[in-house]
Every structure is written in C-alpha cells, then in structure tokens.
Chains A and B, each alone.
Chain A
C-alpha cells in the first residue's frame, strides 16, 4: 500500500489509505461514508458524482484520489452551513426540481460550480453547462428554473 493520501473535504482533513489510482468517488462513498455523491455510470457520462475540486465541478468517478489531494474538495454534504441551505439547494427545493432525485446532488454541485464562475447565466449557458448531467426523470425545465432562481437569490444577497 502506498503512503496515505490526505484529502481536504468540506473543510475537514481525512487521511485515506487507498491505492492512488482509486477514483475519488469510491473513497468518498465507501471509505468516508459521504454517500451524497452518487454512482450513476462510473464513466464520466452522467454527472451524478459531481463534486467541486478547488471550486470547479469535476466528475469524481474520473478523478484518481491522488489527483484530488492538492485542492479543497466540496461535496453535497458540505453545502449546508449551520443548518442553512446553499441558495442552489434552496432553489431546487423551492422549484421541486427533482422526482426520484438520484441526479440531484450532481445537478446541484454542477450548478454551484456554474454560478461561481458565471453569476448570471443565460438559459443557453445553463443548458450548455448541465449538458453532461443526466436527469432520466425529465425534470430539466424545473432544474433550469431552479438555477435561474438561485442566481437571483445570490445576487440579491450580494447587494
């Protein structure tokens, strides 16, 4: 076994004893119990496993754990602060932007990533950014609406 890798996840440090090439998703889910990030395909094709690495949305099933050690990681579990939902979480809740909700963590993490770099995205930009996230229940229109609402909430908060 290689030397332990240290991950910084949701502001906490975790030593991890996994082979360096293990995808981050399996370390999050199986070793650390952070099961909010979902397995949907393991091939980087569905977005259900999306986390933020250094603030940028990444498919955790495609990132070797060794490559995730250098930057802070945020998972869906790290968005809620002192019992207050992140505006994106709140907007998804308000819009009822889920059915089975298995894609929801990944959708929210991707959307948080989008709004960090583009605080006021157009509909076309939201569509483009979320193209890699699969919602099989067909809740896309509400997800787009939720991202727009979240952008609005965050802008009002900034004022």
Chain B
C-alpha cells in the first residue's frame, strides 16, 4: 500500500486489462428482463441534471467526481403487478426507501404496498454519484415520477390496443386501466403479462402536481419497520456468507507513521490465520475476530512517527497557512465594504472558531468481501457505492464490470461514509485468504481512521446604521468550507471569501458541510449587532431580510415559541437564528436555563420551523428535522475531537460526548408544506441554525457571548 494524498491504495500485482468501457445502462437493459422477469420497463435519461457541486473545495473533499451527465432511473412493472423502482441512492436512515416508493405509487396509481425499491447496488441500479448533498429528493423524485408517468402511459396504450379504443378516454387508477365508456377494466398485471417491453423515456411527461398527490405527501410508516424492531434486518456487520473469516487491520500508532521493523512469523504460525503485508497495509484474517486480533498482537512492528500539531494550535495554523490565492468560485464582492464601514453608526469585528467533530455513526465502517472467478463482490455501508466500486477496481486493477458493490440499508452516515477504506481492507484480506472476509471497524478505529468535519476560523467585520440597517458585511472562512457562506441579508457592501488551508486531519463531508459553521458565525454576529443596535433580535433580522421564504420560517418559529418572551426565571434566556441552504429554509428558537453558580447550561426547549417545498412524507421529514436538531445540539454544546502528534485523544463514547437522553430538550418541529414549490432535500439544512440559536439564548441569559464551537464543553467555565 502507498499513501497517495492521504488515501490508502493497495498495490497488488500489476495486471493490464484491455476491457472495453463498461456501460452501465446498456448492460442493465440487456439483462433487465432476465433478472426481473417479463413485464414493462421504462428507463429515464435525464439531460442537464447538473447541479452545483455542493461540497467544499480542495482536497478535503472526497467528491472528486463530477455529477453524472445523465442521472438515470428505471422502473419495472412485472407480470404479477409488482412494481420495482431502481435508484443508486442508499438508505442510510433518512427514509428514502419509503419516500421514493410513495412517489412511484402516487404517479403510477398503484397501492403503496405493491412498490419495492432496489437501492445502491452497482450491478442492479443506475449510476449515482452518491447519497449526499440532500440530492435524493430534488433529483431522484422527479426522475421516478417521470418514469412512472411514462409506464402508466404504456399501460393505458396497451389497454387501448386491447379494446381497440382511443387511449385518451381511459383512466389509470388503483393498478388498473378502466374504460369509463364501457365499464371494462384490465389490471396492470394483466397488461404486463407476456411482454418484454422496454422503452426509453419519451418527451417529458407531465407529472402530477403536489396538490393532487394521493400517496405521496402522506405520513406512511418506514418500509420494513418490522424487520428493524425484531432485529431481523441485516446491516453489513450482520452478514455471514459461508466460509467467512473475520479481518482485522494493524493500525499505525499515529497518522503518517511508517513501518520500520516488521516480523509476522509468530502470527503466520497460528492455525487458520492469514496474514497480509502489502506496503504499509498489514492485516490478518481468521475464523474469529478474536483470533485475528491475537494474530495482529503477535506481529512485531515498529513505526517511525512524525511530530504533528495539536488541536490547541490549529486556529493560528489556519490563519498562518491559508492559501494566498483565493478561489474565485467562493468570492463575492459587492460595492465597497470600506465605505459601508465608514458610514456605519456601529461597527463590530469578531472571530469564530469551530472544532473538528466526528460523525460517530452507530454502525461503524464495515465491509464483507467475496472473490469468485476473479470477480469481486463487496457489501458495505457506504454513501457512494459507485465510487467505492471504481476505487476497488482501481486498487485491484480490475475492470469496473468485475466489481460489484452492494449497500445493505445502513446504520447511518451523516456524510461520514464516502470512502471505501473498509471495503478495500476486506477485499485485500479476502483475496489472500481465498475466502469471504468481513472487516468491522472498532469504535476506536471509527473515531480515529475515518474522517472529520473540518475545523475552521471565521472572521466577520460589519457595520449598521443607527436604525439597524446593515451597511457593511465582510466574511472570511478559513479551512472549514464555503457551504452557506453567503449572507441572506440585504447588505449593499459585501465581501465574502473562502480561504483554503492544507489539511491537518483527514476531513470530509458532514451533515450540512460548512453551512453549520458559517451559520453559527453569521447568526451569532447578527445577534451581537442587534444587541449593539438595542433592537429585538427577530425585528433586527426582519428589518434586513427580503427573502419571503426565510421570513416565513422565522415568523412560524417565533409564533410557536412565543417570541418575544418575558423572562420568568433566573438564568433563563431566549435565542433565535435562521438560514437557508440547498433550497430549504430553517429558523430555530432556543430557550436555555443557566445556573451561574454551577456553570451548568441546560437547553430547555427548541422550536424549529422548516420548509423544503412540497412535503413527500411528513412523518419521515419530522424524524429528520428533529434528529438534525439533536445532532446539532451536540456540536453546539460539547462535541470536539482532541488530538496531538497524530493521535486522537478521545476516540471513545466515554470521552467523545454525543447527545444522550438527558441532553434532549423539549422539541417542536414545525413543517411548512409548500405544495407550489418543488420538493427539496431535508437531511442537512435543519441542523444549521441550532448552534447559533442556543448561543444567542446563552447570551440572553448571561451576557456572555460564546464565539467558539463547541460553546460550553465545560459549562460556563468554557468562556
């Protein structure tokens, strides 16, 4: 193995393949009916599906591939009337399996129960860049609606042909086509029987507007819920193919350490154990995880380590090592900040620091790899099955067609499962052992060798007129990222810049990316300005806000919260914050109770209004919104990765604090359903305004302004 830009690459024997380029769509189409049986299939090729690259720039990101040129979707109506929808997106707890099936049922006019989704399987599903960026709902939902509408047209035409009537008068509903003139009807199953009819999507079929949805828009419970409450659902770590061995990987004592002394003779002598050394990669496979670990323990290894900086020094490092050349994509200049500041009645400069945090998905990174006839199949919990496939093909010098990646519904990710580390490790060990191998990362490995939400420094300079109108806004983000960097407020004079900094810790996507950090800085700063102007924080925001959707969520949250509220208890405080990102809008109100003597800060209540266009499933959406609020509370109050000399100092749940039951306040989520606006994703934006709302409430209670995330890992003493 060698380390290329922080990515571990296995270097097996060199082979050269002259394989033709693999074309996913053609292959799938050819094999489609063989796989699913006869029936009717519709394939969609959506042109111009390009969307803004939602990731932060630079090497911190793992999304180095472009969005697919054509996002495909396909659908099959079987001879038994069963309906199968295919998407490359993965189910990671965000409930897309349910929401996408609802969409198909709605548009095809079939019962929800007859629809099955096949997800995230590189052989069975269309190419997909990955399940990230809140993209499933805005990109896949319309695709599946269009293929469903097209399939419905085909079924209507088949019925018209059968009856020798014009299709125009026929009605599709309840999984059958009916002729109102004669009263006769044919079930979809009957119409699909004996056919192997595949059709590319014709010209854009009109799809059903949200006001006429019958299945979508309803609070349908999670598909397969019973499998989850009975423990029957098999996540990747639960898979046990026949003959499987357990794999473990020898980890370096610190990041960037290299092997200097290595002797595995004692480990290799152990019965049933396979030991692999390939460059810096050392691993063992054995009949049990315990035996694999014992084999690793028996390896004599010494490492050369390199000194590295600690979390205490990173903020000054970011400032000192920022790239001198700015990326124009994340640079905005409007009129003159200097003039805006000169004309201001109040000016405010502030710096905000944001710590590295961990995703800590409860299902750790895991993979099961199996080789057969030179072909590799890997089951793994990843957000990017196709990128995992490509990386495996690359690492093992295989054509992509020889690698299949399958994603079982996964125990969450939050942006943390983009890489193929566990997949590569399992595949390398499985090749050596000649048997399937499962690698499940320990919690310590998960906290250490995955990647982190990047830390950063944000500097803000601003000015307001005496009536509270913003006159100048200057915003610099160092390292943490450019998502949500632009202010939604009306300011005549603006400068916004993102400054890239070389990587310290391996970093990548995290729910909402840098929008959480940028919103924390902006909304905290706005609160401080309101205070300087002696204005109510909500009034101050409204005065500087023209965006109607953002005003609407602010009004909704404030109304439910009872803003402005009078304090009735000592230590009580109220805060508000808002923002928008990825076409969805959020406003959060917080109530805190601070005990100045003990320094304990308690979040008592959170009220959040969220709007993402037409709601596909209010029950699933509410789960995502409330979940994001609770996850956001952890990063706001106490989550932080500590590190020194390439070692993570708190790689356990005992030392890295995540929100637990006692931390959870009274929570209210208000969902605004805008049926006139296309549905946007909802996995990320609801997290953004939580931290500043809490921080602003702490200020209201104490007069102390916390400008660093996490704000109060040690209570008020953190100040």
Contacts and interface: CB of A to CB of B under 8 A. Distances in A.
B231 A76 contact: yes
Contact of A138 (B235, B629, B652): B629
A58 interface: no
A63 interface: no
A4 interface: no
Contacts of B225: 93, 96, 98
B226 interface: yes
A138 B232 contact: no
B401 to A, nearest CB: 31
A136 B360 contact: yes
A131 B226 CA distance: 25
A50 to B, nearest CB: 11
A82 interface: no
Contacts of A45: 443, 652-654
B405 to A, nearest CB: 19
Contacts of A98: 222, 225, 228-229
B661 A96 contact: no
A130 interface: yes
Given A39-B440, A101-B93, A134-B660, A30 B289 contact: yes
B177 to A, nearest CB: 34
B290 A42 contact: no
A43 B93 contact: no
A60 interface: no
B221 A101 contact: no
B232 A36 contact: yes
Interface string A92-117: 11001011111111001000000000
A30 B438 CA distance: 11
Contacts of A134: 362, 653, 658, 660
A53 interface: no
Contacts of A138: 626-631, 659, 664
A78 to B, nearest CB: 10
Contacts of A79: 230
Interface in B209-249: 221-222, 225-226, 228-235, 237-238, 240, 246
B141 interface: no
Interface string A31-58: 0011111111111011010000000000
B325 interface: no
A93 B631 contact: no
B443 A41 contact: yes
Nearest to B660: A131
A137 B660 contact: no
Contacts of A43: 443, 652-654
A30 B289 CA distance: 9
B410 interface: yes
B412 A92 contact: no
Contacts, number: 164
Given A99-B94, A134-B653, A85 B230 contact: yes
Nearest to B411: A102
Contacts of A152: none
Counting chain B CB atoms within 10 Å of each CB, the highest count among A90, A108, A139, A141 belongs to A141
Interface residues of A, number: 57
Contacts of B430: none
B626 A36 contact: no
A126 B629 CA distance: 21
Interface residues of B, number: 55
Nearest to A80: B230
Contact of B290 (A26, A100, A101): A26
B23 interface: no
A111 B617 CA distance: 28
A22 interface: yes
B658 A100 contact: no
Nearest to B231: A36
Contacts of B290: 19, 22, 26
Nearest to A104: B228
Counting chain A CB atoms within 10 Å of each CB, the highest count among B229, B231, B628, B630 belongs to B229
Contacts of B95: 99
B619 interface: yes
B654 A102 contact: no
A97 to B, nearest CB: 9
Nearest to B628: A138
B92 interface: yes
B624 interface: yes
A41 B443 CA distance: 5
A103 B661 CA distance: 13
Given A40-B443, A140-B664, A96 B652 contact: no
B304 to A, nearest CB: 30
B54 interface: no
A99 B240 CA distance: 24
B496 interface: no
Contact of B623 (A41, A99, A130, A133): A99
Contacts of B222: 96, 98
Contacts of B664: 127, 138, 140-141
B361 interface: yes
Interface string B648-660: 0000111000111
Nearest to B233: A101
B566 interface: no
Interface string B184-224: 00000000000000000000000000000000000001100
Contacts of A135: 362
B58 to A, nearest CB: 27
A36 to B, nearest CB: 2
B80 interface: no
A43 B651 CA distance: 11
Given A127-B662, A131-B661, 11 more contacts: A26-B290, A30-B240, A46-B443, A93-B221, A93-B225, A101-B233, A102-B363, A136-B658, A137-B412, A140-B661, A142-B623
Interface of B: 92-95, 221-222, 225-226, 228-235, 237-238, 240, 246, 288-290, 360-364, 409-412, 414, 440, 442-443, 619, 623-624, 626-631, 652-654, 658-662, 664, 667
21 contacts: A35-B234, A35-B238, A38-B237, A38-B363, A41-B443, A77-B232, A85-B226, A85-B229, A85-B230, A89-B229, A90-B229, A99-B623, A100-B362, A101-B228, A101-B411, A108-B229, A127-B664, A131-B660, A136-B414, A138-B626, A140-B664
CB-CB nearest 10 A-B residue pairs: A36-B231, A100-B93, A102-B411, A138-B630, A138-B627, A76-B231, A45-B653, A35-B238, A100-B412, A101-B228
Interface of A: 19, 22, 26, 29-30, 33-43, 45-46, 48, 75-77, 79-80, 85, 89-90, 92-93, 96, 98-105, 108, 126-128, 130-144
